[in-house]
Amino acid sequence: MNQTNSPETNRPQKAEVEISPSNQSNELVQNIIAALTVSFVAISLGAAFGILSGRGAFAGMLSAGLIAFITSVLGGTRVQCSGPTAPMTAVTVAVVVAA
């Protein structure tokens, strides 16, 4: 992206980038593939943590999905980490306190 300086403000101005429909469709396909990959990993981890905690695979998958939903509703960021490891944190705290 090219930047030019405006003579009035001496601030860099962003150049406009033209987005074609083919770029948008390619980006959409890439986003869908990434979302499916992440969701498969999250479901697997949620099931594993559910079994590990003794609550069952479905409870782990449900809690992983619930945490992802709450995070997205409250305004997650691109660098925020939330997923199936969050319920495992509660289990780990309980184990450490009991030990």
Q: Which residue has the higher pLDDT, 4 or 91?
A: 91
pLDDT digits 0-9 by tens, 24-66: 788 888 888 888 888 888 888 888 888 888 889 998 888 888 8
What pLDDT does 6 receive?
52
What pLDDT does 31 receive?
84
Whether the per-residue pLDDT at 15 is higher than 70: the answer is: no
Distance separating alpha carbons of residues 73 and 80, to the nearest angstrom: 13
Which DSSP helix (H) or strand (E) runs through 55? none
Question: Domain ranges in the chain?
Answer: 20-98
Distance separating alpha carbons of residues 32 and 43, to the nearest angstrom: 16
Whether the per-residue pLDDT at 22 is higher than 80: the answer is: no
Half-sphere exposure of 52 (CA within 13 A, CB side): 16
